[in-house]
Amino acid sequence: MTPYLKLIRISKHGWSALIYFIYFITRYAYDLLLNLPLSHRILLSVLYIVILMTMIFRYFYGSPVKYLQEYFVF
């Protein structure tokens, strides 16, 4: 059974399906990341951390662009 069919079958269980999906995608990304060269791993990790921190900042404070515009006024 393919992973997508597993997700369809498990999707009948609501939140547990969402948790399983997040776990499956995270495990897949982690395995993929381990097969990359070190420089690529560092760059991708930094990129993902920046995206995650931006999402958290936006959730609590709104758009981060308006705060950055204060520093880059022309």
46 and 72 inside one domain: yes
Same domain, 6 and 28: yes
pLDDT tens-digit map of 26-40 = 898 888 888 889 898
pLDDT beneath 70: ranges in the chain: 1, 3-15, 73-74
CB 14 within 8 A of CB 7: no
Pair (13, 30) in one structural domain: yes
> What's the structural domain count of the chain?
2
Q: Do 4 and 29 share a domain, yes or no? A: yes
Burial of 59 (0-12, 13-18, 19+ CB in 10 A): exposed
Range of the domain at 47: 37-74
Question: Quick one: 43 and 26 in the same domain?
Answer: no
Same domain, 4 and 16: yes
- Mark whether 44 and 25 lie in a shared domain: no
